[in-house]
Every structure is written in C-alpha cells, then in structure tokens.
Chains A and B, each alone.
Chain A
Amino acid sequence: MTRYIIRRLIVSIPVLFAIVLFTFAVVHALPGGPFSTVGEKAMPEHIRLIMERRYGLDQPLYIQFWNYLKMLASGDLGPMMRMPSQTVNDIVYQTWPVSIQLGSLAVILAFAIGIPAGILAALKRNTWIDYTATFTAVLGVSINNIVLGPLLILIFGVWLKVLPIAFWGAEPPWILGFLPKPTWNFWTHAVLPVVTLGTAMSASIARLTRASLLEVMMSDYIRTARAKGLKERAVIIRHALKNSLIPVATILGPLLAGVLTGTFVVEQIFALNGMGRQFLMSIEQREYFLLSSLTLIYSIMLVLGNLMVDIMYAWLDPRIRFD
C-alpha cells in the first residue's frame, strides 16, 4: 500500500506541472495585464512598462515560467503585483483556512444528512418516507446556492434576527495554522454558510446512496446472505452498506478538493474571506502569480482527494487490491 501511494504521488508530479503550465499560459494569453488599467482608466504606457519589468513580465513566457518554478521550489508563491504590501503566501494564509473550515463543516453536514437519508429512502422504497426524502433531495439539488444563501439570510438574519447575516467568525492567527478559535461567535457565523453549502451536497449524496443501495440490495450475494438466515439488519449493515458506498466515495475526492479550496458563490454571498473569492479576483486583476498558485493548490488537493478515494475503495471492497 505504501509503495502504491508513493507511486501515485510521483506519477502526479508531471500532471501538476502540466496543469500549472497550462494555467500560466492561458492567464498570460488574456488581453490586458495587471498594470494595463487603473480603476476605470488606462495606465500610462511608460509606467506600465516599468512595472511589468519589475515583475519580469517583459521576459519571454518560458523564462517567466522557469522563474516562477524556481520561486515555488523555495516555498515562495509569488508577489501580489497590485497589493505590494502583501504576498501570495500572505493571501493563502489568510484565506485558505476559512475555505477549509467552511468546506469541511459543510462536507460533514452533507454526509451526516445525505447518507442516512439515502439509506432510509432505499429501505423504505416507494413509501412516503422515500417520496419525501427524494423530493427534498431533488429540491436541494435544484435550489442553487445563489438562491438559498440570500433566502436564508432574509429569513434567519433579517426577519427572525437569530443568526448573523454575514462574515466568518474566525480570523488569523489560526490555531495550528488552519483551525479557528472555536468561540460562540464562530459557530453562529458558520451556521448559514455551512447549511447553504452543505444542503446541495447532502442532496446529491442522498440520491447517490439511495440508487446505489437499491442496486446492491438486488445482487446475488445479498440473496446468499439472506439465504444463510442472517437478520435483515446484519445484511444491510455488514454486507450491503459498505459496498453501496463505493460510488459515494468516488465523488468524495473531487468534492473535497472543490469545497476545501473555496466556493466562490457562498464566500461572495456571506462576505467570507475565502480562497474561492481570490480565484475570481486574480483573474479579473490579472494577478498571475496568485492565480497560478491557487490553481496549483487546487490541483494538489484534487490529486490527494482522488488518492484518498482509492484508499477508501480498498477498505470498502476487500476485492480491490493495489499491490
């Protein structure tokens, strides 16, 4: 297993390299640069040239890329060209933990609701429980975060005044570099964004769990288990459930990578200083170093997420072996 993990990590290095190279090339190909505009006005030509030279943007692209790789190798993610008192490392330190905290709470919520709901719907198939669960799940999938977020703000923030409308309840410095100080303030601020983000995810997890469990319940080995005279409870928990979670585990990797590196819509609506917002800002402002570094982080998370999924496969299904 250890050899397998190491092999996978080594194989992923060229993939990461290709992703960063591609992003780097695409973002530089966008018209205009970080210094071409000033608010709603154009930057004077000679000042633009001086600033571009300072950050090496006047060099051929392959040299810029090489310099960027050298920076990365020394742990430097690059400068912020339009906010010179900050670096990309600063921005990542400020924003990534917020996204990790929001994302992991949302995933926990999504699984805590999604999996039991899916199991219940599958076991009570074609009863009112199933219909209610399925209906709620369809609703959850169809209501976009962009609608749900403001709706929750309106109900719980403006009308009922029981929960804060916006902001994240924790700020740097973080505990262990990424954990919040778990104050009351933190939890009250977390409720609405986590519910907004978790609901849609829990709905798709519930649907997936239901479909997969139904399929497994009809397979031969379940019939065998029942024929052996096992109790229904044991059949479901020991034999059916674990196998039915394989498709759920499959989506977990990309899901985790996605939400742990920031979700633009939720961060925007709730005014959270997360990494998702930085993605968009870096494209708008042509902050080349920030965008390339964020893409790199996202790619690493994706690789790790998928690796984790593969490891979980082996645990969920004993027939799967990697050695």
Chain B
Amino acid sequence: MSRNKWIILILVLVLGVVVLSACSQSTPEVVEKVVEKTVVVTQVVEKEVEKTVVVTEVVEKEVVVTPTPQPEPVTLRFYSTTDIPTLDPQIAEDVVSINMIENLFVHLTNYDLETAEIIPETATSWDISDDGLTYTFHLRTDIPWVKHNPVTGETVQEVDADGNPRFVTANDFVYGIKRACDPNLGSYYSSIIAPLIVGCEDVLNAEDPENIPQELIDAIGVEAPDDATLVIKLNFPASYFLSMTPMWTMAAVPEWAIDEYGDKWIEAGNIVTNGRFVLNEWVHGVRRTLLRNPLMPEDMYGTGNVEKIVVSVVPDVSTGYALWLNNEVETSGIPDAELQAHLEKYPDETVQVPDLAVFYFGFRETKPPFDDPRVRRAFSAAFDREKFVTEVRQGQGLPMKHFAPPGIFGAPPIDEVGVGFDPEFAKQQLAEAGYPNCEGFPTVTLLGYSGQATLNWIEFAQQQWQEHLGCSPDVIQIEQQSFKELLAATSAKTPDEEAPHMWTLGWGPDYPDENNWVGDVLWCENPGNRMKRECTEADDLIVQAREETDPAKRVEMYRQIEELFFGPEGEMPMAPLYLRIAYVAQHSWLTAPRALFGGEQFYNWSIDQAAQMAAMGK
C-alpha cells in the first residue's frame, strides 16, 4: 500500500508546485519600459533599417545608467467580447477584426467621420470615365510597408530581394483585389464586390475552385499601369462603387509575407502592415496591443493623440462595465439591468452610438395568409414602434417606417415614406383581407432568434396584434431558435410548410448606399430572397437606380422604391421596426468620433491624459 501513498503524495505535490513556487518574484515592469523606449528611438532613426541594431545597444546602456521611466504613452483601453477572428483584410467580416484592420492597414479611400463622404487615403484623387465603367485612382507612394518586432519593440521598413525599401504601390492593391475574388478564401465580402468588378465573379464562381485557370485571374479588371495608378473596370456603371472603396476587402496586402507564412501571416511578429498602428502583441483570447507606427508619413497621423491601444477580451458585459466603473477601460457597453441607474448617475459619461442596423419582421410572401399584401400591411401597421423603443428597448433606438436609415445615400428622411404605426389603417386592411377583428384568422408562426431581448420583442408584438388587430395570442405562435437555425428555417430553399410565416432579423450595411438595402436584401433576384418575392415594378427600378449616374435622380428613384414597398399601397415584404442605437459608457477624458462604416478610426481618437491618470490615481 505504501506505493499508493506515494502516488497520491506525488499528485498532491504537483498541484502544490503552483503554491510553493510563489517565493520567486520577477520584475516585468522594467522589461516593458525597455520595449517602449526602443520604439521611440526607432522613430528617430526612421527608415535607415541597417542601423537599428546599433540603436538597440544604446537603449540597453540607457536602462543601466538612467532608471527614470519614460512618460506613459497616451493609452486607449477598451475590450471586445471575443478574440479577433482574423487580421486578414480580405477575409475579415466582423466588427472586432475590422476595427483592428482599419488601424493596421491603410485603405484605398477613407470615410469622413462627419459626412460619411469618401475622402482620400492611399488614393489622393480619382477619375471616373464618362461611361461610368472605369475608375482610375492616383495613389501616393510614400507609405512604407513595415514589420514590428514584438520582442525588441522595433518597427522597421520591409525591403525587397534587392534590398530596396518597400512602399505601398498600385500593384499591392491589384494583388489584394484579385485575392478578394478568390473563392478559396471563403470570404463573405468577396460576394459583395464580385458582381461589380469585371471578371471577379467568374473567378469567384469558377467551376473547379482548386484549379482556377490563370487566364480567368488575369482577366479580372484591375490593373496597375504604374506604381501610382490603379485602374478598376466595372461590369456596369455602378454609381455606388466609390462608396465601397474604403472597404477592407479592397485593401492592399503584402504578397511576399502571405507567401512566406501562409495562414499564419497575421500573427504578431509575422504580420507586415502599412497603417497608422502596428501590432505589438496578440495574446489569443486575452489581449492585443497596438502601438503607433513611427514610420508613417506625418500627414497621415490622424487628428487623435492615442499612442497605444490595449484591447482585452471580456466576454461578459457586466464585467466590462465593472472595469469601466473602476476606470480600467475608457468605454464599455452597459448591461440592461444597469441602464437606468447608469443614465441617472452618469449622464455626462454616456454616448449614443448608432450602428445603422435596422431590425424588422420578415414575411413569407408565398405562405397564406401572408400571401395577401393587406395582411402584411395590417401586421406592420399594428405595431407601435414608438412605444416599443421606449418600453422594450429602453430608448435605445429610433422607430423606422421604411428600410434604409439616415446616413445611407438615397435613404428618404426618417419620418417620410412608409405607413409606420397606424392602428386604424391596420384594422381596415385586415378586414378587407377577409378577417375583420381577426375573425377566422388561421394560426401563424413568428420565429425569433434566441435571447431574452428577442423574447421581449416578440411578446410585445403578440400584445400589439391583440390590442390593435384583435388577434388572440393563441393565433400567433411564437418560437425561438438559434440564429443559425433561424437562417436555415427562413432560407428561400426551405419549403413553405416548414418555414415560419414571420421572423425577426436585422440588416447592417456593408457600404453606405441604398443599393445595399433594397438591392442586396429585397431585390427579387437575390439568391437570399427570404421573403420569396415575385419580381415587380420595384425590382426594375432597383436595377435602373444602381446604374443611374445622376445622384439627384437616384435619390428620387430610391424614394419611389421605398414607397412601392412600404407606402399605403405598398407590397410590405417586411415590417421595418427600429434603428438600433446603443447607449455606451464613455469616460469624459476620451473624445471618440465614431465611424458609421468600416472600422473605428482610433487614429482620430483623443485622450486627456492628465484627467485619465488622475482618475486612475496616478
């Protein structure tokens, strides 16, 4: 038996090593400061790559001689609820990734934060041919490709095989855009740009994706006549193309680094970037740290003063909010349960952030009784959006009568076009459809995705339809399923018998143009067509509007389209309900102009460091 005692003793000892080894203390702070110093010195050296080794020696000496710390860099701290899925511009499809990519890479053009207009970034100017089919971008060629060494803290410019420093050129964009057409990347955004660019769709839909013929790739309509000129050819005169050029999907990427590291090229230490920040650290699932790129041309610095960004992964908003209360992060979401208390206690440290996502009930147009537009109009008009936003959303939203929200080119003013909430109209429409006071109305299903918030939403709908249409809650069966299940159940391929009559969904824009709303969601020829719409006059207009070059005419056409969908005589394929606006806790020392499109531009954010330090007790 004594042997067994030994086994147990050893087990206990192994567990105890953690406890016993407590005595040895390391001093990580010194190391961190060394790293920060090296970055500053590299800035002085600038582009002279070969000299950086010498510089490191100087820093080491300095640490020995003078222990006085450098001033703290201006640091922006916040959290995301997940790790970054990817830092690859062509693959990214989520906010967390895109926020990082916006700051690590320059894009072809940029969104102006105030006007949502397209402004120069790498492209300083552009010409559009008279037929609207050829876009010529004139690029600046002084943006270096850089690699940051997380261990030494050095940021150095990349050099090519001959030892020449590498700058961003039109060829890097050609490579990036052609790469975006490659179906093997598995990128959602490929399908957004592919229909526009000549030849891109042929590659994306190639019969044998593993052996795409080189001719097809060469035929993609992107060219670089010289380093400073990028030419993109379109399939049709898509007047909204320019609004897509700030997208991460079309960013330049370093071909040589991707070839060298494969899927791992985005990891810290491997990644080659060209943006205002560099990736200093990426502890997966825990934290990533960005530092200013010291080699960036000065005029591209941005209007902000943030020098360092620390983003932690905090999956639970309540914990994130506790960190905010403790001044450990600059900004945080607010848990629903805390919202009212927060608004009372910190009115000056609350900002409203719209993300331009509009939520709606979709109707299956082929499934009776919702095959009758009058029934659809009745259900839409019987939902009090104002009351819903106030009571259920606690004020976090704006009621919507039509689909596209303000801020989108071509969207009608928010209070114009569309019936919205009108109980009298609703009753009358339902009666005309043969169900006065909901008599004889068959049992229908409303499918929501999982979560308490959605449950509150669909229960509110049930009450509204009882109050304004007289439909008993027994008639409206509510169900909840996970998001993936809901998408499968409402897919156009699902037979009507298995599909719900109505469902909850939301749409957030990919680019700021009405085509991304009525064209990419409602258009009858979309492969997505969840409502199973038949093509109508509205669909002809959608096709015309996307090719119209006169902006004023386009605005008018989109107004007509929205009217054809959501007006009193409208088809009503969905009931638009509200535009999401989130309350966000934000400390007063942070000035953070938010981006409605693309990633957040942290280079335009500023921090009053004295106030921040005072709050932290430093």
* CB of A166 within 8 Å of the partner chain: yes
* CB of A182 within 8 Å of the partner chain: yes
Of B2-10, B300-308, B377-385, B416-424, the one with at least 4 CB within 8 A of chain A:
B2-10
Complex-state Cα separation, A273 to B85, whole angstroms = 15
- In the complex, the answer to whether B4 meets A314 with C-beta atoms within 8 Å is yes
- In the complex, the answer to whether B1 meets A42 with C-beta atoms within 8 Å is no
| Residues of chain A lying within 8 A (CB to CB) of residue B19 | 105, 108
Complex-state Cα separation, A41 to B1, whole angstroms = 62
Within the complex, which residue of B85, B283, B483 is in contact with A82, where a contact is CB–CB below 8 Å? Answer: B85
- Which A residues, 21 to 70, have Cβ-Cβ distances below 8 Å to chain B? 30-32, 35-47, 50-51, 54
Listed from nearest, the 6 A-B pairs whose CB atoms lie closest are: A32-B484, A273-B285, A38-B188, A51-B186, A271-B314, A44-B191
| Residues of chain A lying within 8 A (CB to CB) of residue B51 | none
* CB of A150 within 8 Å of the partner chain: yes
- In the complex, the answer to whether A158 meets B314 with C-beta atoms within 8 Å is no
Within the complex, which residue of A35, A95, A104, A183 is in contact with B28, where a contact is CB–CB below 8 Å? Answer: A183
Interface 0/1 of B259-297, CB less than 8 Å to A: 000011111000000000000000111100000000000
Residue on A with the closest CB to B484? A32
* CB of A129 within 8 Å of the partner chain: no
- In the complex, the answer to whether A268 meets B315 with C-beta atoms within 8 Å is yes
Interface 0/1 of B15-33, CB less than 8 Å to A: 1111101111110100000
Can you list 10 A-B pairs with a CB-CB distance of less than 8 A?
A32-B485, A38-B94, A47-B187, A91-B284, A166-B322, A182-B18, A182-B22, A182-B23, A182-B24, A311-B8
Residue on A with the closest CB to B271? A85
- In the complex, the answer to whether A50 meets B24 with C-beta atoms within 8 Å is no
Interface 0/1 of B594-611, CB less than 8 Å to A: 000000000000000000
- In the complex, the answer to whether A172 meets B15 with C-beta atoms within 8 Å is no
* CB of B366 within 8 Å of the partner chain: no
Of B323-331, B394-402, B471-479, the one with at least 4 CB within 8 A of chain A:
B323-331
- In the complex, the answer to whether A46 meets B322 with C-beta atoms within 8 Å is no
* CB of A297 within 8 Å of the partner chain: no
Within the complex, which residue of A36, A94, A308, A312 is in contact with B285, where a contact is CB–CB below 8 Å? Answer: A94
- In the complex, the answer to whether A85 meets B506 with C-beta atoms within 8 Å is no
| Residues of chain B lying within 8 A (CB to CB) of residue A179 | 17-18, 21
Decide: A315 near B1, CB < 8 A? Known: A268-B315, A271-B313: yes
* CB of B463 within 8 Å of the partner chain: no
- In the complex, the answer to whether A311 meets B528 with C-beta atoms within 8 Å is no
Complex-state Cα separation, A51 to B8, whole angstroms = 48
- In the complex, the answer to whether A269 meets B319 with C-beta atoms within 8 Å is yes
Q: How far is the CB of B263 from chain A (nearest CB, A)?
A: 4
Q: How far is the CB of B246 from chain A (nearest CB, A)?
A: 19
Complex-state Cα separation, A13 to B28, whole angstroms = 45
Decide: A271 near B316, CB < 8 A? Known: A50-B209, A171-B286, A183-B28: yes
Complex-state Cα separation, A45 to B25, whole angstroms = 55
Interface 0/1 of B66-94, CB less than 8 Å to A: 00000000000001000101100001011
* CB of A117 within 8 Å of the partner chain: no
Complex-state Cα separation, A277 to B315, whole angstroms = 9
Taking residues whose C-beta sits less than 8 angstroms from the other chain, chain B's interface range is 35 or more
* CB of A14 within 8 Å of the partner chain: no
Decide: A36 near B15, CB < 8 A? Known: A161-B326, A183-B25: no
Taking residues whose C-beta sits less than 8 angstroms from the other chain, chain A's interface range is 35 or more
Q: How far is the CB of A136 from chain B (nearest CB, A)?
A: 24
Q: How far is the CB of A220 from chain B (nearest CB, A)?
A: 24
Residue on B with the closest CB to A40? B506
Decide: A166 near B323, CB < 8 A? Known: A31-B488, A183-B28: yes
- In the complex, the answer to whether A44 meets B527 with C-beta atoms within 8 Å is yes
* CB of B11 within 8 Å of the partner chain: yes
- In the complex, the answer to whether B487 meets A104 with C-beta atoms within 8 Å is no
A85-B263, A86-B284, A182-B22 given. 13 additional CB < 8 A pairs?
A1-B4, A40-B508, A41-B188, A47-B183, A47-B187, A50-B183, A50-B209, A82-B85, A83-B86, A101-B18, A161-B326, A168-B286, A308-B11
| Residues of chain A lying within 8 A (CB to CB) of residue B454 | none
Decide: A315 near B8, CB < 8 A? Known: A50-B209, A94-B284, A268-B315: yes
* CB of B136 within 8 Å of the partner chain: no
- Residue from B209, B266, B357 having most chain A Cβ neighbours under 10 A: B209
- Residue from A38, A95, A101, A182 having most chain B Cβ neighbours under 10 A: A182
Interface 0/1 of A143-177, CB less than 8 Å to B: 00000001001100110010001111001100000
* CB of B184 within 8 Å of the partner chain: yes
* CB of A187 within 8 Å of the partner chain: yes
* CB of B103 within 8 Å of the partner chain: no
Q: How far is the CB of A87 from chain B (nearest CB, A)?
A: 10
| Residues of chain A lying within 8 A (CB to CB) of residue B95 | 39
Residue on B with the closest CB to A284? B482
Complex-state Cα separation, A1 to B4, whole angstroms = 9
* CB of B205 within 8 Å of the partner chain: yes
* CB of A84 within 8 Å of the partner chain: yes
* CB of A242 within 8 Å of the partner chain: no
Complex-state Cα separation, A39 to B283, whole angstroms = 23
* CB of B318 within 8 Å of the partner chain: yes
* CB of B491 within 8 Å of the partner chain: yes
Complex-state Cα separation, A277 to B81, whole angstroms = 12
Decide: A271 near B319, CB < 8 A? Known: A50-B186, A157-B326, A315-B4: yes
Decide: A311 near B86, CB < 8 A? Known: A54-B186, A180-B18: no
Q: How far is the CB of A204 from chain B (nearest CB, A)?
A: 19
- In the complex, the answer to whether B86 meets A165 with C-beta atoms within 8 Å is no
Residue on B with the closest CB to A86? B284
Complex-state Cα separation, A290 to B49, whole angstroms = 42
Complex-state Cα separation, A84 to B16, whole angstroms = 37
* CB of A90 within 8 Å of the partner chain: yes
| Residues of chain B lying within 8 A (CB to CB) of residue A269 | 316, 318-319
* CB of B312 within 8 Å of the partner chain: yes
Complex-state Cα separation, A118 to B103, whole angstroms = 57
Complex-state Cα separation, A234 to B229, whole angstroms = 92
Residue on B with the closest CB to A260? B15
Within the complex, which residue of B83, B191, B326, B484 is in contact with A37, where a contact is CB–CB below 8 Å? Answer: B484
| Residues of chain A lying within 8 A (CB to CB) of residue B312 | 166-167, 271
Complex-state Cα separation, A43 to B93, whole angstroms = 11
Within the complex, which residue of B188, B265, B482 is in contact with A44, where a contact is CB–CB below 8 Å? Answer: B188
Complex-state Cα separation, A90 to B264, whole angstroms = 12
* CB of B56 within 8 Å of the partner chain: no
- In the complex, the answer to whether B21 meets A104 with C-beta atoms within 8 Å is no
* CB of A75 within 8 Å of the partner chain: no
| Residues of chain B lying within 8 A (CB to CB) of residue A167 | 286, 312
* CB of A239 within 8 Å of the partner chain: no
- Which B residues, 333 to 386, have Cβ-Cβ distances below 8 Å to chain A? 357
* CB of B38 within 8 Å of the partner chain: no
| Residues of chain A lying within 8 A (CB to CB) of residue B15 | 104, 107-108
* CB of B190 within 8 Å of the partner chain: yes
- In the complex, the answer to whether A39 meets B183 with C-beta atoms within 8 Å is no
- Residue from B26, B265, B315, B485 having most chain A Cβ neighbours under 10 A: B315
Within the complex, which residue of B187, B266, B283 is in contact with A172, where a contact is CB–CB below 8 Å? Answer: B283
Complex-state Cα separation, A12 to B79, whole angstroms = 43
* CB of A229 within 8 Å of the partner chain: no
Q: How far is the CB of B487 from chain A (nearest CB, A)?
A: 5
Q: How far is the CB of A207 from chain B (nearest CB, A)?
A: 23
Q: How far is the CB of A215 from chain B (nearest CB, A)?
A: 24
Q: How far is the CB of A142 from chain B (nearest CB, A)?
A: 21
| Residues of chain B lying within 8 A (CB to CB) of residue A107 | 15
- In the complex, the answer to whether B11 meets A165 with C-beta atoms within 8 Å is no
| Residues of chain A lying within 8 A (CB to CB) of residue B26 | 181, 183
Residue on A with the closest CB to B185? A47
Decide: A1 near B322, CB < 8 A? Known: A42-B487, A42-B491: no
Within the complex, which residue of B23, B285, B320, B322 is in contact with A154, where a contact is CB–CB below 8 Å? Answer: B322
- In the complex, the answer to whether B314 meets A166 with C-beta atoms within 8 Å is yes
Q: How far is the CB of A164 from chain B (nearest CB, A)?
A: 9
